[in-house]
C-alpha cells in the first residue's frame, strides 16, 4: 500500500487484502485461484479493508473471509445471504461480499437467493461451484450432474442438476457472470465488475475439487474448454439470450458476463433511505417529549 501524499487517494495492492492466515485447501484446489482473484479485484476497486465485510456459510469455499483482511463473518450452513443483507442494511456504507459453495448456496441456502435478488440488495455473491460436497467427503450436491457417482449416490445421481445461472436469471438478477480460476485475469475482472455493479451481483465460479470432483473438470482442462462470451459476440444486455446460453450449463463452459442490466434500478437500501427521508416525522418540542414521562 502506498500513500506518499496524504491528500491523495490510497493505492492498494492484492497483498493488502491477504491475511496472515494460510489457506489449508487441498493442493491444486480451484479456490486458491478464486481468493487470489478476489484480492486483485479489491485492490482495483480501492476500498480499504475496514470498509469491507466478507460473509460466508459453511464449506471449503466459506473459509475465504478468514484469508482476507476485511471484516469477516462465518455463519451457519446456508445462511450467509440473510446475514449479509442485515449487515448491508445496518451499515449501507460497507462493501459487502458473500462467499458460498454450490451446496451451501443452492441446497439449504437456496431459498434465500430469490429474496436477496428481488430486494436487489447491493451484495456481490460469489459461489464456488464444484458439483460436489468437498468438505464432507464427496457427497452429491445440488449441481452434480445426473448420473454422477458419489459417496451418497452409489448408482449415480437420479436427479436433474440445479442450474445456478438459469435460476438467478429467472429470479431477475441484474448482474450474472461465470468465471474459472484457470483464467485469472478474466476472473479478477469479473469479480471487480460484480463489486462495482450497483445492486445484487451473482458470480458463479467453476472451481474444481481435486479430491472428489470430476477429473475432466480440473484446472488443467479449463482453458481448453472455456468459451469467452465476449469473444462469442454476446450482448450482456440481452436477458433472453443470456438465458439461452445459461441452459448449456454443465455442457458448455461459458465465461464472462451473461447479463448486466443496463438500467440501474434502485437497491432495497436506497428505497429504505429515501422513504425514511420522505416520511420522517417532525420532531416534537422538548417540553412535549418530557410530558410523556410525567406521572399521571
pTM given for the model: 0.88
β-strand 253-260 against 175-179: which pairing, if any?
Answer: antiparallel
49 CB-contact burial (10 Å; exposed 0-12 / middle 13-18 / buried 19+) = middle
To the nearest whole percent, how much of the chain has pLDDT over 70?
92
Q: What is the pLDDT of residues 164-202, one digit of tens each?
A: 999 999 999 999 999 999 999 999 999 999 999 999 999
Q: Which residue has the higher pLDDT, 34 or 277?
A: 34
Distant-in-sequence contacts of 146-155, Cβ < 8 A, 24+ apart: 148/214, 150/212, 151/212
Kindly list the distances between the CA atom of residue 199 and the CA atoms of 103, 148, 168, 210, in Å, as whole numbers in the listed order: 24, 35, 13, 33
Out of 107-111, 152-156, 235-239, least confident range: 152-156
Q: What is the pLDDT of residues 87-145, one digit of tens each?
A: 999 999 999 999 998 888 888 888 899 999 999 999 999 999 987 777 777 677 787 77
Question: In the chain, what are the domains?
Answer: 14-266 (3.40.50.970)
Amino acid at each position: 500500500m502506498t500513500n506518499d501524499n496524504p491528500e491523495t487517494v490510497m493505492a492498494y495492492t492484492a497483498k493488502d487484502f491477504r491475511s496472515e492466515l494460510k489457506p489449508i485447501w487441498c493442493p491444486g484446489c480451484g479456490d486458491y485461484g478464486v481468493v487470489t482473484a478476489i484480492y486483485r479485484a479489491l485492490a482495483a476497486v480501492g476500498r480499504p479493508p475496514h470498509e469491507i465485510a466478507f460473509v460466508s456459510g459453511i464449506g471449503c469455499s466459506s473459509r475465504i473471509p478468514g484469508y482476507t483482511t476485511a471484516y469477516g463473518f462465518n455463519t451457519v450452513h446456508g445462511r450467509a445471504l440473510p446475514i449479509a443483507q442485515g449487515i448491508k442494511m445496518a451499515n449501507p456504507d460497507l462493501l459487502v461480499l458473500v462467499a458460498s459453495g454450490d451446496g451451501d448456496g443452492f441446497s439449504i441456502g437456496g431459498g434465500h437467493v430469490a429474496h436477496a435478488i428481488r430486494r436487489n440488495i447491493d451484495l456481490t455473491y460469489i459461489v464456488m461451484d464444484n458439483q460436489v460436497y468437498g468438505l464432507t467427503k464427496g457427497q452429491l450436491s445440488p449441481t452434480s450432474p445426473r448420473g454422477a457417482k458419489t459417496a451418497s449416490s452409489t448408482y449415480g445421481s437420479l436427479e436433474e442438476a440445479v442450474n445456478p445461472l438459469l435460476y438467478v436469471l429467472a429470479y431477475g438478477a441484474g448482474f450474472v457472470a461465470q468465471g474459472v480460476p484457470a483464467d485469472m485475469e478474466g476472473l479478477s475482472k469479473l469479480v471487480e465488475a460484480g463489486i462495482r455493479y450497483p445492486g445484487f451481483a451473482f458470480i458463479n465460479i467453476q472451481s474444481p475439487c481435486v479430491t472428489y470432483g470430476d477429473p475432466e473438470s480440473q484446472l488443467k482442462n479449463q482453458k481448453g474448454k472455456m468459451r469467452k462470451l465476449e469473444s462469442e459476440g454476446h450482448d450482456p444486455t440481452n436477458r433472453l439470450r443470456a438465458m439461452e446460453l445459461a441452459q448449456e450449463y454443465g455442457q458448455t463452459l461459458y465465461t464472462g458476463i451473461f447479463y448486466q442490466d443496463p438500467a440501474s434500478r434502485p437497491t432495497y437500501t436506497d428505497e429504505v433511505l429515501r422513504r425514511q427521508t420522505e416520511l420522517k416525522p417532525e420532531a416534537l418540542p422538548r417540553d412535549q417529549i418530557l410530558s410523556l414521562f410525567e406521572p399521571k
